[in-house]
Structure 1
Amino acid sequence: MRFTKMHGIGNDYVYVNTFEEQVPDPAALAVAMSRPHFGIGADGLVLIGPSSEADFRMRMFNADGSEGEMCGNAVRCIAKYVYERGLTTASTVKLATASGIKTLELQIDAGRVRQVTVDLGEPQLAPQAIPVNLPGARVLNHPITIQGLTLQMSCVGMGNPHAVIFVDDPEHFDVHGIGRQIEHDALFPKRTNVEFARVRARDRIEMRVWERGSGETLACGTGAAAVLVAAVLNGLTERSARVKLSGGELQVAWNPDDNHIYQSGPASFVFDGVWLED
């Protein structure tokens, strides 16, 4: 089975073109391929295929085999893949995901996709839509105690659940220990991604992310969007900011006219290969 390794600012997935390949058990394949040393090593598996409602369809599976609804970095990689591999000649691509159809605008230079802007849609703030088992219209600065440490958590849905926590120094924070426990907390019926962020200026944020089903990753596009939303709602930033993640930077804007989140960033090929069935 042919595959392609790609990454969006370090958030790396294995991509399979299901126009040409068959994947009967993608959950098991995601686990096998994602394993370092014994597999390829990745944050998960992404399938690119046909759609009856959009130009293409994406299915994404985390490193533990669980299926995710959406991945901002993966959709940018898909945009680059379908254009540069000749599956489309369009500079605007509609992509069906488990959280709805996303519009991708490709910045093309000399036949190469240099950057992709993704319309991530409206952030979900109602607890039942995220979902998180808490009352009220929004979850802002809700206290959660982990390992004796009480943190203030703001929850945002970006087609997938996010818990955003602002800390003094993400670089030296226990992202693994705290992130893992919050991911599996009973408050989150579908588990959650967890972002640990610090505001450096009204237009600059830095963050680390514990990604549901994969552990800490170098980047999370929907996580960066959720962090901006939480920062705006808490009065910490403007509606547009550069978000610095471990693997690079994204430009994120929350448009007041349509309430949509727009995110721009690069996508990169790493290598092509052939997966040999054992």
Structure 2
Amino acid sequence: MALAFTKMQGLGNDFVVLDATAAPIALDASTARHIADRRYGIGCDQILIVEPARSANADFGYRILNADGSESGQCGNGARCFVRYVREAGLTDKNRIVVDIRDGQMVLEALDEGDFRVALGGPRFEPAEIPLAGFERAARYRLDDVAGQSVEFAAVSLGNPHAVLRVSDVASAPVARIGPALEAHAAFPERVNVGFMEIVARDHVRLRVFERGAGETLACGSGAAAAVVTGIAAGDLAADVRVDLPGGRARIQWQGAGYSVYLIGPAERVFEGKLVSSD
């Protein structure tokens, strides 16, 4: 069996995109891990599957598989690649599309200046909605047993769970030590994406993200949005913020409660090919 794919990237966050609009593509966790493997497969942070819409008002369905084979509910960088892919593959000529995701819908747009904008929906701060176990809602939370130390963080859901730590210098942040320990902590029953944010100015932050199921990546769109949203909610950031990630720069816009969070940035096609099974 030969599986056609397109390799894409957004700010260095890379994806394998599969078109399942004409026929279903069933991937078990083992196959997904093989595709994502950078030595034995294609290599990617996540696999994006383009499917037929499940709702009458949607244009497509959108599924996301992590590198470890688990499923994710949201990926902002992947969503930008998604809208570029469906337009360039001739699946739509719309500049604005609605996609069904695991936990709702997303609106994706191609902008005139060549960037792409993703409406991520409204953030959810209630612990039960993140989910974050064992806490009442607060601006910041504290765990005393993360890799042998106490950690303070803000928490929010944008279709997937995020914990955001403030750091004075993102370059020296303990991403490799704290990231996996907090990702798998019992307080997060669905695991968590862990962001390390340095505030440079009210309209500028630097960020590194340890993604659940993928490890540290060059960029995480929903992670950038989560970090900025927690800063805005705390009164420390403006409503329009540029985010410097190891893979490049994105913009996050949020007007506050009742409004959607917007992610703006590039998306690029890298190459196309076919994965041939050895069975």
Scaled by the length of structure 1, what TM-score is found?
A: 0.94
User: Does structure 1 conserve the Cα–Cα contact (< 8 Å) formed by 2:15 and 2:44?
Assistant: yes
Uncovered stretches (5+) of structure 2, i.e. residues with no partner: none
State the SS of the aligned residue for 2:111: strand
- 1:149 deviates by 3.0
Aligned equivalent of 2:154: 154
State the SS of the aligned residue for 1:121: coil
Uncovered stretches (5+) of structure 1, i.e. residues with no partner: none
Q: What is the CA deviation profile of residues 68-96 of structure 1, one whole-angstrom value per residue up to 9, with x for unaligned ones?
A: 11100111101001111111111110011
State the SS of the aligned residue for 2:222: helix
CA distance in 1, matches of 2:228, 2:150: 22
State the SS of the aligned residue for 1:81: helix
Amino acid at match of 2:42: I
Amino acid at match of 2:70: S
Alignment of 1:16-165 (within 5 A): 16-20=18-22, 22-53=24-55, 54-108=58-112, 114-165=114-165
Q: What is the CA deviation profile of residues 43-101 of structure 1, one whole-angstrom value per residue up to 9, with x for unaligned ones?
A: 12111010131101111110000011110011110100111111111111001111311
State the SS of the aligned residue for 1:42: coil
CA distance in 2, matches of 1:263, 1:92: 14
Amino acid at match of 2:59: D
Amino acid at match of 1:77: C
State the SS of the aligned residue for 1:88: coil
- 1:36 deviates by 1.2
Whether 1:276 aligns to 2:248 is no
State the SS of the aligned residue for 1:95: strand
Q: What is the CA deviation profile of residues 155-205 of structure 1, one whole-angstrom value per residue up to 9, with x for unaligned ones?
A: 010010000001111212221121000000000000000000100001000
User: Does structure 2 conserve the Cα–Cα contact (< 8 Å) formed by 1:130 and 1:157?
Assistant: yes
User: Does structure 1 conserve the Cα–Cα contact (< 8 Å) formed by 2:142 and 2:150?
Assistant: no
Aligned equivalent of 2:210: 210
Aligned equivalent of 1:235: 235
User: Does structure 2 conserve the Cα–Cα contact (< 8 Å) formed by 1:91 and 1:108?
Assistant: no
User: Does structure 1 conserve the Cα–Cα contact (< 8 Å) formed by 2:127 and 2:133?
Assistant: yes
User: Does structure 2 conserve the Cα–Cα contact (< 8 Å) formed by 1:131 and 1:188?
Assistant: yes
- 1:236 deviates by 1.8
Aligned equivalent of 1:249: 249
Amino acid at match of 2:207: M
Amino acid at match of 1:71: C
- 1:21 deviates by 5.2
CA distance in 2, matches of 1:203, 1:108: 23
**Which range moved further: 239-248 or 183-192?**
239-248
State the SS of the aligned residue for 1:275: strand
CA distance in 2, matches of 1:35, 1:222: 23
Scaled by the length of structure 2, what TM-score is found?
A: 0.94
CA distance in 1, matches of 2:127, 2:63: 25
CA distance in 2, matches of 1:253, 1:19: 32
CA distance in 2, matches of 1:8, 1:194: 19
State the SS of the aligned residue for 2:232: helix
Aligned equivalent of 2:6: 4
Identity of aligned residues (%): 37
Aligned equivalent of 2:184: 184
Q: 1:198 to 1:56 in 2, by over 3 A?
A: same
Aligned length in residues: 274
- 1:103 deviates by 0.7
Q: 1:203 to 1:144 in 2, by over 3 A?
A: farther
